[in-house]
């Protein structure tokens, strides 16, 4: 792949794990495990293609409404994947990051997340961000609360608030906005994901279910992105 016009930041709504498993008459957790394998390949491909940031919608604030057994299995899978992948993250220079209401996650998983983030903090490769217990509306509300706290403490004035300063109160502070948003499984909605940050992102939707999404599919999405002309409203 030619390296011109490669998106700096790709965000992905990883949809279709459950459907993938259901079509094969397998437990849903098997679909989630296959989805984790797809993450490994896409992360490697991003490094190869020159993508600097990869943000994955892994577990939303709404997902807590799922059956307790499924949620518990997902949390255990996340913890196991962190244990399994930390060595590869270090080997490949990946910086690991998590956004969302992390305090809502099980304590053991919180500890693994914090440890993984600390271990990879100095890495200079792809920044892999998982959105866990994440909802964009919750993110914006949390940002507003931080602004109000700073105003009450005299650290911020009303006239200082603009789009740039507001962005610093979001979970994604320090990250560029996504250039390309990919959604798998063919659904045509953003599902409360990075609503502020994707204002000018290019969208790419594929009918591929996430466990089947591979390097060639990512390359196809990037090639489509490169054909588009980004006007930013001009």
Q: Return the CATH number at 108.
A: 3.40.1180.10
pLDDT at 2 over 90: no
Is residue 27 in some structural domain? Answer: yes
* Model confidence pLDDT, tens digit, residues 45-56: 999 999 999 999
Is residue 83 in some structural domain? Answer: yes
Is residue 25 in some structural domain? Answer: yes
Q: Quote the CA–CA distance of 170 and 144 in Å, as a whole number.
A: 9
Is residue 107 in some structural domain? Answer: yes
Under 8 Å between Cβ of 139 and 171: yes
> Global pTM?
0.95
Q: Quote the CA–CA distance of 206 and 184 in Å, as a whole number.
A: 5
Given pLDDT bands bounded at 50, 70 and 90, which one contains residue 234?
A: low
**Both tokens of residue 126?**
């792809």
Q: Quote the CA–CA distance of 78 and 109 in Å, as a whole number.
A: 8
Is residue 3 in some structural domain? Answer: no
Q: Quote the CA–CA distance of 78 and 68 in Å, as a whole number.
A: 15
Contacts 24+ apart (CB under 8 A), 61-68: 61/100, 61/101, 61/133, 61/134, 61/135, 61/138, 61/192, 62/135, 62/192, 64/104, 64/133
pLDDT at 101 over 70: yes
Q: 136: burial class by Cβ within 10 Å (0-12, 13-18, 19+)?
A: buried
Is residue 171 in some structural domain? Answer: no
* Model confidence pLDDT, tens digit, residues 38-84: 999 999 999 999 999 999 999 999 999 999 999 999 999 999 999 99
* Model confidence pLDDT, tens digit, residues 166-219: 999 999 999 999 999 999 999 999 999 999 999 999 999 999 999 999 999 999
Q: How many domains does the chain have?
A: 1
- What pLDDT shows up at residue 1? 53
The domain in which residue 209 lies consists of 9-139+180-225
**Both tokens of residue 218?**
């990512």
Q: Quote the CA–CA distance of 131 and 105 in Å, as a whole number.
A: 12
Looking at the annotation, which residues are catalytic? 15, 63
């Amino acid at each position: 792949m030619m390296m011109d016009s490669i998106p700096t930041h790709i965000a992905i709504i990883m949809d279709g794990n459950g459907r993938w498993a259901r079509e094969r008459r397998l437990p849903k957790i098997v679909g989630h495990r296959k989805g984790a394998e797809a993450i490994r390949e896409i992360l490697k491909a991003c490094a190869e293609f020159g993508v600097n940031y990869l943000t994955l919608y892994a577990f939303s604030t709404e997902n807590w409404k799922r059956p307790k057994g499924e949620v518990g299995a997902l949390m255990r899978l996340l913890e196991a994947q962190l244990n399994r992948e930390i060595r590869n993250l270090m080997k490949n220079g990946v910086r690991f990051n998590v956004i969302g209401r992390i305090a809502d996650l099980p304590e053991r998983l919180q500890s693994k997340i914090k440890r993984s983030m600390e271990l990879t903090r100095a890495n200079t490769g792809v920044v892999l961000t998982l959105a866990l217990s994440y909802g964009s509306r919750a993110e914006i509300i949390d940002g507003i609360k931080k602004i109000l706290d700073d105003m009450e403490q005299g650290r911020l004035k009303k006239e200082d608030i603009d789009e740039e300063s507001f962005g610093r109160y979001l979970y994604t502070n320090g990250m560029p906005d996504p250039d390309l948003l990919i959604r798998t499984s063919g659904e045509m909605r953003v599902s409360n994901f990075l609503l502020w940050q994707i204002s000018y992102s290019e969208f790419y939707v594929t009918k591929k279910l996430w466990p089947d999404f591979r390097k060639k599919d990512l390359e196809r999405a990037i090639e489509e992105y490169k054909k588009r002309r980004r006007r930013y409203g001009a």
